[in-house]
């Protein structure tokens, strides 16, 4: 089975995020996404504010890993905001460098489930496979999904499976590939989800093997 991205109008993401925040200003997922959009347009101060609000509104039973990711992202955004301000005062903002379109890279491989966890899985459980930057926002730069009945499965992550047009796998440095099996169907990690994580890799690598071999506490 090959993972394929669901079709969507990615250009509408920023508008949809703001609409969600108008309905619920404390919607955690919308705040996290809004922070990522701000980070990608280099508005680091605003990104930090969104992620701080997301962290403050996490439910009491939220995973400690998610809390730590948000704290790290806030710290990184604040650091970059301070550096950007200092640079602007000293020499002015530099013109961004655009990479040639031919430099787009992909990551492909296989995801499987360890036999010891097979009894905890239903065929209709959702499987997410995504690339997450080692030093960046917690949101994926590329993601695909399928169901547990498709395992073992091959996957391919590239710019076409990036959830937002401003965050591309080809622009990322080191990433880890995470395979998460979710009973709720939600990409946000929850207790009881089953996971596997690769070693850090760079875009352009094929033949990655990810084994779902642990349960989130």
Q: Distance between CA atoms of 133 and 198, rounded to whole angstroms?
A: 12
Below-70 pLDDT ranges, the chain: 1-13, 63-65, 83-104, 165
Q: What per-residue confidence (pLDDT) applies to 210?
A: 93
- The whole-number pLDDT of residue 86 equals 43
For residue 98, what are the CA distances in angstroms to 36, 95, 142, 173? 20, 9, 20, 16
Check residue 131 and give its pLDDT.
92
Domains and CATH numbers, the chain: 10-91 (1.25.40.10), 101-215 (2.60.40)
**For the sheet containing 208-212, what is the strand order?**
153-157, 107-113, 208-212
Q: What is the pLDDT of residue 111?
A: 93
Place of tokens 């993601």: 143
pLDDT of residue 175: 92
Eight-class DSSP state of 5:
P
Q: What is the pLDDT of residue 17?
A: 82
CA neighbours closer than 13 Å in the CB half-sphere of residue 74: 16
Phi, psi for 4 (deg, rounded to 5): -130, 145
pLDDT number for residue 70: 77
Q: How far is residue 47 from each of residues 31, 73, 76, 151, measured CA to CA in Å?
A: 9, 9, 10, 36
Question: What pLDDT was estimated at residue 34?
Answer: 82
pLDDT in tens, 37-71: 777 777 878 888 888 888 888 887 776 667 777 77
Given this model, what pLDDT does residue 214 score? 92
Q: How high is the pLDDT of residue 176?
A: 92
């Amino acid at each position: 089975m090959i993972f394929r991205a669901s079709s969507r109008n990615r250009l509408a993401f920023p508008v949809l995020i703001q609409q969600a925040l108008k309905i619920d200003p404390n919607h955690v997922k919308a705040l996290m996404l809004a922070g990522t959009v701000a980070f990608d347009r280099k508005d680091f101060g605003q990104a930090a504010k969104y992620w701080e609000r997301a962290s403050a509104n996490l439910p009491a039973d939220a995973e400690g890993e998610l809390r730590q990711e948000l704290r790290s992202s806030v710290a990184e955004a604040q650091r970059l905001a301070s550096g950007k301000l200092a640079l602007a005062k000293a020499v002015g903002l530099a013109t961004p460098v655009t990479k040639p379109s031919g430099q787009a890279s992909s990551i492909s491989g296989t995801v499987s489930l360890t036999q010891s966890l097979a009894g905890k899985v239903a065929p209709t459980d959702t499987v997410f496979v995504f690339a997450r930057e080692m030093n960046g926002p917690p949101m994926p730069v590329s993601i695909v999904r399928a169901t547990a009945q498709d395992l073992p499965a091959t996957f391919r992550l590239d710019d076409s499976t990036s959830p937002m047009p401003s965050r591309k796998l080809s622009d990322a440095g080191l990433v880890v590939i995470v395979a998460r099996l979710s009973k709720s169907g939600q990409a946000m990690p929850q207790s009881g989800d089953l996971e596997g994580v690769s070693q850090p890799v760079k875009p352009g690598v094929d033949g990655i093997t990810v084994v779902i071999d642990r349960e989130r506490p």
